Structure 1
Amino acid sequence: MPTVFYIGATGYIGGAVLVDLIKAFPNLEITAIVRNPDHFEAIRGLGVQVVQGAFSDVDLITSRAREADITVNAGDSDDVGLNTAILAGQKARVVEDNKPPAVLLHTSGVAVFMDGGNEGKHDPNNKAWNDGDEADIRAITPQMLHGQVDAPILQASEAGYTESYIICPAAIVGPPTGPVPAGSYFIKFMTQLVLAFKKALYIGEGSNVFYTVQLDDVVDLYRRASPYSRYYIGVSTPHSWKHIMTVFGKLEDGAAQSVSISVIPPPASLFLGASQNARGERAKALGWEPRPVVLEDWAEEGITSALAKLQ
């Protein structure tokens, strides 16, 4: 069986994907990099070998990625140093070791396709990014959010140094299923944002769109990834920021207010001012059928969990 180097085993997405991967392929030889010794037992309990280290341990990351047949990065979609180390190891495997390219399964995010707006307005006539159109994926640049990692992966894959598969999910909700309890980053982000301002705020008319998807549907998309196509946009339900803020406004007085973008500091302003327009045709061609996301169904439990972690 192939050897796997796993990054992100203790995270919300990574933990869920790891559990599913082991169920589907119980004989895989998996080694996970884990920083906190308190989590070693939980990971080893899945039959996974553990090597202690951090994402900043460049030599360790490079050597492990060079040795493994498959590297899974479900740990950080924006860490340029981590990604550079992975690609360096996989390139050395091909160029110096004369081995076939290893697989890289990487987690990105649909925020790469934000339109850069700052007025809180959605224009349905703006470009709709589509994973089924190769030209759209080739148009991803390092200047785009997450693009500083996605673009080099795509380039390394085209050069023949890696066989990459990029899963690009929307904001994820749903109960954690990994070996170490970890909550939705989106729920945590929204909770902190509303608490910080003591108010739920949106920009302008608040019609700008932000996509969501359920965690187990994202796991299902990982399972369906196929060699004939390499970049998969995983989106389910678009929500206006006005609606999102109305849901999370229950943290305070329940009201959501429109403000100028000047009131919202970065990085939150990057999300609250812009809109998304994305299509997951390639993912759906694989039979992927995500369920709709009703934020009200997930927000209360997720907020409670996020608040507990913030205390």
Structure 2
Amino acid sequence: MSKTPIFLIGATGYIGGTVLARLLAHPSKDTFDITVLVRSEEKAKKLETFGVKTVIGSYTDTALVEQLAEKAHVVFSCADADALDAANAFLAGLRKRHAKLGDLPILIHTSGTGLLTFGDSAKGEQPTDKIYFDNDPDDIEKSFPPTALHRNVDLAIVQADKEGYVRAYIVLPSTIWGIAKNPLVDAGIQNPHSQQIPALINAALARGQAGVVGKGRAYWPSVNIEEQGDLFIILYDAVVSNPEKIGHGRDGFYFGENGEHLWYDISKAIGKVLVKRGISKSDEPTSFTTEELVKYFISEEIGGSFGTNSRARGIHSRSIGWQPKLGTRDMLDSIDTEVEAILKLQQKA
């Protein structure tokens, strides 16, 4: 029996590793022929013990990405939502595959609800009433120009789907939280940590008090890493079992969200943990200065993203059978564990 060739980009990352771990545990795992692109020879050797084929390289090597994509019936793009050159490369490979074999490849690409922050100027001062729904492609299409975050890559993928040489599905995670736990993490292959909440924790530890952009009065959605991983696999299974009924291309946006939070709520929870641990005297977040945004978050723009609004409802995601259970309260309760993990990492450094 022939196997399904799968190419996964981002295997050692927080999201990509979580997706790969699920593919390796999938009921149909014996029918998968999985190839991943990895920079580290050490991690490549470890991945091979899991039955995964490895190629040493980077997604910035567009010729290599195109070559590997051409060999795959399924591509999971889980590395960089803004890497347009890489996206053009795997799309070129899938186009060649379709032309040579008549195969209609499946592409599942990772974008993000950072897209929804376009035009937002809240700077942490106020929430917005505007909520986006992933089952409303007309609103998404009219609301976001190519200059919006992630949008140029998303549009290239939608266009490829429109041209008919690939069926494309775009997953948009939100604030992903939780420490990933799976055999790839245990083997030292996958990064188990998210970015947003740990960044706020690291800044709070460095300044001795939790911080917010402005007043922290802006909303973002959130999703647990394990349930985000579930969404990718539920989507894949739905596409394989009933492709004609699963929205793709322009109709193929799937938000990863289960509840939303004010940025203040996260920073307040961090503040409480720091007080409990004797690290801070007050649990009340104070506003980051411009200098602090640059110091703790590389740039004022990146730091300022913690004051933006991104409001999303994953109606489309739930319509295919995704049923996330862990919500905002669970996220806030997890922050103590996140702080503990970061303190241990700092002790090892």
TM-score (norm 1): 0.90
| Matched-pair contact (CA < 8 Å) for 2:128–2:309 | no
Aligned residue in 1 for 2:231: 221
Aligned residue in 2 for 1:255: 284
| Matched-pair contact (CA < 8 Å) for 1:184–1:302 | no
Quick one: which amino acid aligns to residue 301 of structure 1?
T
- TM-superposed deviation, 1:106: 0.9
Instruction: Name the CA distance, whole Å, in 2 between partners of 1:144 and 1:262.
Output: 26
Describe the SS at the equivalent of 1:104.
strand
Is 1:120 equivalent to 2:142 in the alignment? no
Aligned length: 309
Quick one: which amino acid aligns to residue 340 of structure 2?
T
Describe the SS at the equivalent of 1:264.
helix
More helix per residue: 2
- TM-superposed deviation, 1:53: 0.8
- TM-superposed deviation, 1:175: 2.6
| Matched-pair contact (CA < 8 Å) for 1:241–1:272 | yes
Quick one: which amino acid aligns to residue 50 of structure 1?
T
Instruction: Name the CA distance, whole Å, in 1 between partners of 2:176 and 2:145.
Output: 24
Quick one: which amino acid aligns to residue 337 of structure 2?
E
Q: Which segments of 5 or more consecutive residues in structure 2 lack a partner in the other structure? A: 295-299
- TM-superposed deviation, 1:308: 4.1
Aligned residue in 1 for 2:46: 42
- TM-superposed deviation, 1:259: 5.4
Aligned residue in 1 for 2:297: none
Describe the SS at the equivalent of 2:29.
coil
Question: Match for 1:200 among 195, 210, 213?
Answer: 210
143-152 vs 30-39, which moves further: 143-152
Is 1:285 equivalent to 2:319 in the alignment? yes
Aligned residue in 2 for 1:4: 6
Aligned residue in 2 for 1:33: 37
Question: Match for 1:242 among 237, 257, 264?
Answer: 264
- TM-superposed deviation, 1:217: 0.9
Aligned residue in 2 for 1:264: 293
- TM-superposed deviation, 1:46: 1.8
110-119 vs 252-261, which moves further: 252-261
Instruction: Name the CA distance, whole Å, in 1 between partners of 2:229 and 2:103.
Output: 27
Q: Deviations over 1:12-45 (max 9, x none)?
A: 1111111111222212011111111121233112
| Matched-pair contact (CA < 8 Å) for 1:112–1:145 | yes
| Matched-pair contact (CA < 8 Å) for 2:178–2:331 | no
| Matched-pair contact (CA < 8 Å) for 1:203–1:272 | yes
Is 1:15 equivalent to 2:17 in the alignment? yes
Question: Match for 2:105 among 102, 106, 125?
Answer: 102
TM-score (norm 2): 0.81
- TM-superposed deviation, 1:263: 6.2
Q: Deviations over 1:153-207 (max 9, x none)?
A: 1121112132111111111112313412421222332233334544322233322
Identical amino acids, percent of aligned pairs: 28
Aligned residue in 2 for 1:59: 63
Give the RMSD, CA atoms, in angstroms: 2.2
Q: Label 1:286 to 1:261 Cα distance change in 2 as closer, same or farther (>3 A).
A: farther
Q: Label 1:205 to 1:189 Cα distance change in 2 as closer, same or farther (>3 A).
A: closer
- TM-superposed deviation, 1:244: 1.3
143-152 vs 199-208, which moves further: 199-208
Quick one: which amino acid aligns to residue 219 of structure 1?
G
Q: Which segments of 5 or more consecutive residues in structure 1 lack a partner in the other structure? A: none
Quick one: which amino acid aligns to residue 234 of structure 1?
G
Aligned residue in 2 for 1:151: 155
Q: Deviations over 1:85-115 (max 9, x none)?
A: 11121122234x2523311111111111115
